[in-house]
Structure 1
Amino acid sequence: MSTDMNEKELPAKHPEISRQEIPVEHEDTLNDAINGENAEHDQTMWHAVKSQPWACLWGFVMCFTIVMESFDMFLNGNFVALPPFQVKYGVEVSPGVYVIPTKWQSALFQAGQCGAFVGVFLAGPITNRIGYRWTTILALVLMNATIFISFFADSLTLLVVGQAFEGVPWGLFIANSPAYASEIVPLALRGVCTATLQLCWSIGSIVVAGATLGFQRRSDEWSWRAPLALQWVFPTPILVLMLIAPESPWWLIRRGRKGEALRSIQRLGSKSEEDSLRSLAMMERTVKIEAQIGSSPSILDLFKGVDLRRTIITCLVYASQNFAGNLIANQATFFFEQAGISTDRAFQLNLINSCLQLVANILSWFLSACYGRRTIYLYGTATNIVFLVLLGICASLPQTHQTNLVQACLGIIISFIFAGTLGPISYTIIAETSSVRLRALSTGVGRAAYYFAEIPMIYLSSQMLNPTGWNLAGKCGYVWGGTACVCWIMSYFFLPELKNRSYRESDILFNRKVPARKFKSTVIDVKDDE
């Protein structure tokens, strides 16, 4: 439908909103924008849920696409611990004991991430062109097709190739999910909704833990091929839902499709017509402020002016997820085995670990509602540093059954803290830091920084844990504790507080070059349009 046709369908009682260019300086329109922003600030979390339940639903559906990346990442971590998989593809290190060589173990973990690295760079340009909704639909179709390669693979080489192809749609999912979710929900729900991404990671790990626990006693190829087939459970139902999902009104406004944007706002909540028009005016006001910087967004814009600072923050927060104990959670079963736990007990502990992560994710919703993003990130990182060092100390003592159990428990605690603080709040920070104009590109480049850091870290992690590598087991806590310290120091000086800030206020704070530690205390007038 053309832009002109969409604009003619707007209510006549607000004719100024039907113009191709809304004059923000027009008093009535400006008042609408201010009232719309004030209404968001005044909303409590519970009121926001009641007023926009459909926004919550569609935000969760989009975030649920992350289950597929989570499922496959944790599945690879469990493959290397499955005895039948080890016997078929591994090497014998002692009589009757087989392990997957370090280079192939790393390749299994890295292949999907390499594919996702490509996907996140494709996500921005594709999304800017066709929108969040159709980009996700395209990725879901691609996901269904690429699973065939992994499922029918009969060698480690083909399995690695399959993982690489599956990674491309993962990149599209992870780049678009936080951006879409943050744009469709009210201000009061932005933290909770984007934190749902970490919840979906935990759901994926629980499904994997349950599936591999159920099949790990089989002695044939179905011990790993059946869990691979479970990947087909997710894409088709989500695809059907995305076909009827609304597009982000922010994306529609940036494309000049105001009529469709208004209908999208109305579909996302139970707002009155007047409230919907105020929300539309608020969005247009912010988009016009950002349009003063540049019109058609390009990836180069991420590295110019004030957007460079926002891009650096996004990249550092994303990349730092790999340096504070997260990789212990991704390879939990193998970590438990290397800590001296039996195979059966390791798979049981992995299921417990995954369930506790889900609990931590739910608790993070209440944390994000009560405390600032910066506060949660700093305290979560500091707490994990303590437990990572304790893990290293425990692994340095003479090893007994008791020290093995303590290492396993510390691994679970580290995963729990990450799943309740750093993991979910990182997605919120990433979604809020980027400008509206560059959000699709920014979340993609930020996730690329995550993969850029993760790919070598996966090799390092495998090398530290594998008996054919450095065989450090729990002593890896010293390494991750040190890298987590670096993350804490950088976040203390450079991470701003954006809780309860509208996108207009965030733009102004960055344009004024306010120091990170003063973001929370700086007052922005509702009439400021700089």
Structure 2
Amino acid sequence: MAATGAGGRAGPTSTRWPAPSSAPSSPSSWADSGVMSGAMLFIKEDLKTNDTQLQVLAGILNVCALVGSLTAGRVSDWVGRRLTISLAACIFLAGSVLMGLAPNFATLLVGRCVAGVGVGYALMIAPVYAVEIASAEIRGSLTSLPEICISFGILIGYVANYFLAKLPLVYGWRTMLGLGALPSAVLAVGVLAMPESPRWLVMQGRAEEALVVLRKVCNTAEEADVRLADIKSAAGFVEGEAAPAPPSGGGKGVMKEMFLHPTPAVRRILVAALGVHFFQHLTGIEAVVLYSPRIFKAAGIATRNQILAATIGVGVTKTVFIMVAILLVDRVGRRPLYLSSLAGIIASMACLGLGLTVIERSAPHHGAPWAVALAIAAVFTFVAAFSVGVGPITWAYSSEVYPLRLRAQGASVGVAINRIMNAGVSMTFVTLYKAITIGGAFFLFAGLAVVAAAFFYFFCPETQGRALEEIEEVFSRGWRARQRQQAPSPSSVELPPVPDSKARP
């Protein structure tokens, strides 16, 4: 099967070394969301915390992830993608140890802040590394692998909650949070066996080293040479001239190019890449994942073990449908999958809002059985719909649309917006549903998903199968120009023959 090379020329599919693309997303940092959803039940009981403290604890990780995400782009331009992955793992390891040993709420909060910085680094560098090392034909699948690790980590967290809940209260939640240190330690060392991004090496003027990496990830030496030539062209190398000096200052001036003097294409790229991050959490995923125990309790699932078992089902559903997305994203394209995902999110959020509203207005413990069944089914349907499109495609799309010179720092700004929205939802959800009811909160998320669908339809063109070095050209035309180009010209439309008025019937 032929694949498109780095600059659009045909070449064999590059599948010799796909594993590194998934390595940056160790489940340790992602397990945190799943673990915290259950751990909060025990933290509240052990440390006597209130709902406000729990909201701060849930959301502070994402606030601190801003620090990581906003610095990770510049750091990765300076020291490389591979060492940035190792740094992310080390920071998260330190945070996990602090949380696992926390004697009080203040220490727990500090540990969660440190872990948040590591999460910010990981969220930025994982998709960027995957995008830069993958070929065009399988880039969507490989860039979506971090989302599989997120889902797998959340599932691990849910399973750990179920079994560790049997430990004494003082040890249970600390063990849940502290175990994240183990896979982070493995990743911090194991990443050193992974290749560096060939595109980063070219940007540093190390083309020979980039060629060595490309020959490991491409099927043939000829394909590696083609991809290297196109990467060098995108980086500003001109055939027959001396190679330009490596950029100084590790990506200095990129922010000015993006935000002060952007070209029309870069402006459209920013709108699309930052917009998908803005809308991802407005669909309500963080509310469902982090507060699923409360949702199930509101739906009538009473005992703690039943609630934790139900959350395991959420984790399994999320993981299974992420795998479906990985199989489909390079076959059906980003746009059809993303828009279909949003349609499922809108329907499931509306059903969840309806079910929870009926339950809430019923007598205690006497909710209509159909409403209970509808609410529980809607949770699983929502998780499936999100996982098959909006979840993985947000990370893949927002990483692949940037030009090489802007990719790392552009991705870091996108992650910062993603974390702000995540923190906003996770830190206000309890207050929100107390103000407008839990059913009303999910009706609100359904409405926001409609806005997200309109945004993606008008501002995000298809990138399936295009080499990274070609995507900037896609954004050089606005939505109207793209629509005119796709529409058949009048001369190409066959008109029906005009009947001869003199012909006899």
TM-score band (shorter)?
0.7 to 0.9
1:286-365 residue pairs with structure 2 within 5 A?
286-288=234-236, 297-303=253-259, 304-305=262-263, 306-327=265-286, 328-342=288-302, 343-365=304-326
Task: Tell me the SS of whatever aligns to 1:511.
Answer: coil
Structure 1 residue 425 displacement after superposition: 1.2
1:392 equivalent among 353, 357, 380: 353
Q: Percentage identity across aligned positions?
A: 22
Contact 2:100 2:176 in 1 (8 A): no
Contact 1:318 1:447 in 2 (8 A): yes
Report how many residues are paired: 463
2:411 equivalent among 426, 438, 443: 443
Task: Give per-residue Cα distances to partners, 1:234-289, cap 9 Å, x unaligned.
Answer: 112212221121111111111111111111112223422x3321221121122228
For residues 181 and 515 of structure 1, do their structure 2 counterparts lie closer, same or farther at Cα, with a shift above 3 Å needed?
farther
The answer for the alignment partner of 1:87 in structure 2 is: 45
For residues 519 and 455 of structure 1, do their structure 2 counterparts lie closer, same or farther at Cα, with a shift above 3 Å needed?
farther
Per the normalisation by structure 1, the TM-score is 0.82
1:31-70 residue pairs with structure 2 within 5 A?
37-40=7-10, 43=12, 48=13, 51-54=14-17, 56-62=18-24, 64-65=25-26, 67-70=27-30
Structure 1 residue 443 displacement after superposition: 0.8
For residues 460 and 160 of structure 1, do their structure 2 counterparts lie closer, same or farther at Cα, with a shift above 3 Å needed?
same
Contact 2:72 2:412 in 1 (8 A): yes
Contact 1:325 1:415 in 2 (8 A): no
The answer for the alignment partner of 1:488 in structure 2 is: 453
Give unpaired runs (5+ residues) of structure 1: 1-33, 91-99, 524-530
Q: Which 10-residue stretch deviates more, 309-318 or 206-215?
A: 309-318
For residues 336 and 519 of structure 1, do their structure 2 counterparts lie closer, same or farther at Cα, with a shift above 3 Å needed?
farther
Structure 1 residue 36 displacement after superposition: 6.2
Contact 2:29 2:92 in 1 (8 A): no
Contact 2:44 2:54 in 1 (8 A): no
Task: Give per-residue Cα distances to partners, 1:121-149, cap 9 Å, x unaligned.
Answer: 11111111111011112222222223222
Structure 1 residue 517 displacement after superposition: 5.3
Contact 2:101 2:178 in 1 (8 A): no
For residues 202 and 516 of structure 1, do their structure 2 counterparts lie closer, same or farther at Cα, with a shift above 3 Å needed?
farther
Distance in 2 of aligned mates of 1:189 and 1:128:
24
Structure 1 residue 68 displacement after superposition: 2.8
Structure 1 residue 437 displacement after superposition: 1.0
Contact 1:59 1:185 in 2 (8 A): yes
Task: Give per-residue Cα distances to partners, 1:9-48, cap 9 Å, x unaligned.
Answer: xxxxxxxxxxxxxxxxxxxxxxxxx9764455x65xxxx3
Structure 1 residue 326 displacement after superposition: 0.7
Per the normalisation by structure 2, the TM-score is 0.86
For residues 485 and 320 of structure 1, do their structure 2 counterparts lie closer, same or farther at Cα, with a shift above 3 Å needed?
same
The answer for the alignment partner of 1:196 in structure 2 is: 145
Task: Tell me the SS of whatever aligns to 1:111.
Answer: helix
Task: Tell me the SS of whatever aligns to 1:221.
Answer: helix
The answer for the alignment partner of 1:177 in structure 2 is: 126
1:160-175 residue pairs with structure 2 within 5 A?
160-175=109-124
The answer for the alignment partner of 1:122 in structure 2 is: 71
The answer for the alignment partner of 2:62 in structure 1 is: 113
Structure 1 counterpart of 2:423, one-letter code: I
Structure 1 counterpart of 2:404, one-letter code: V
RMSD value over aligned CA atoms?
Answer: 2.5
Task: Tell me the SS of whatever aligns to 1:322.
Answer: helix
Distance in 2 of aligned mates of 1:499 and 1:520:
17
1:377 equivalent among 335, 338, 348: 338
For residues 35 and 188 of structure 1, do their structure 2 counterparts lie closer, same or farther at Cα, with a shift above 3 Å needed?
closer
Structure 2 counterpart of 1:449, one-letter code: I
The answer for the alignment partner of 2:503 in structure 1 is: none
Q: Which 10-residue stretch deviates more, 156-165 or 355-364?
A: 156-165
Structure 1 residue 394 displacement after superposition: 1.6
Structure 1 residue 482 displacement after superposition: 1.3
2:200 matched to 1:251?
Answer: yes
The answer for the alignment partner of 1:12 in structure 2 is: none
Contact 2:151 2:319 in 1 (8 A): yes
2:37 matched to 1:77?
Answer: yes
Contact 1:495 1:516 in 2 (8 A): no
Task: Give per-residue Cα distances to partners, 1:368-400, cap 9 Å, x unaligned.
Answer: 122121121112112210111111112222323
Task: Give per-residue Cα distances to partners, 1:412-469, cap 9 Å, x unaligned.
Answer: 110111011110111121122111111000111001111222222222212245xxx4
The answer for the alignment partner of 1:281 in structure 2 is: 229
Contact 2:314 2:383 in 1 (8 A): yes
2:433 matched to 1:454?
Answer: no
